[in-house]
Amino acid sequence: DTGVSQNPRHKITKRGQNVTFRCDPISEHNRLYWYRQTLGQGPEFLTYFQNEAQLEKSRLLSDRFSAERPKGSFSTLEIQRTEQGDSAMYLCASSPRDRGRVGNTEAFFGQGTRLTVV
């Protein structure tokens, strides 16, 4: 399987605990994105990496959230001191470099990690 892989698929945690999610992008893709999707809503952008550099973070990404992409390969998203409002599906996507025009290449999504904070 050469698609985007996310682990775990499901995570249930108690409020206040820390959680970490992993994303393995398509190997030749240099861009990696994290999104959050709540029930009945579209995905919302959280952060973006080009290789190992984190180039943009959304205002949705509070201080309790941190993302890394060491060596420009897999990425992790950590949520510290989880709150019930963090319950959502966390999606990872990757894409190759733009070919010509900015913003026209396809993003490939993983199946997501569903987080439930109880």
**Binding interface with other proteins (CB under 8 A):** 4, 31, 33, 35, 40-45, 48, 50, 55-56, 91, 93, 95, 98, 101-112
Q: How far is the CB of 17 from other proteins (least distance, A)?
A: 26
Q: How far is the CB of 18 from other proteins (least distance, A)?
A: 25
CB of 37 or CB of 80, closer to other proteins: 37
CB of 35 or CB of 86, closer to other proteins: 35
Residues 6+ away with beta carbon under 8 Å from 111:
6, 9
- Identify the DSSP state of 27: T
> Is the backbone peptide bond immediately before 8 cis, with ω within 30 degrees of 0?
yes
* Cβ burial, residue 118 (10 Å; 0-12/13-18/19+): exposed
CB of 36 or CB of 86, closer to other proteins: 36
Q: How far is the CB of 49 from other proteins (least distance, A)?
A: 9
**Alpha-carbon radius of gyration of the chain:** 14
Q: What gap in Å lies between CA 108 and CA 114, rounded to an integer?
A: 18
Q: How far is the CB of 65 from other proteins (least distance, A)?
A: 17
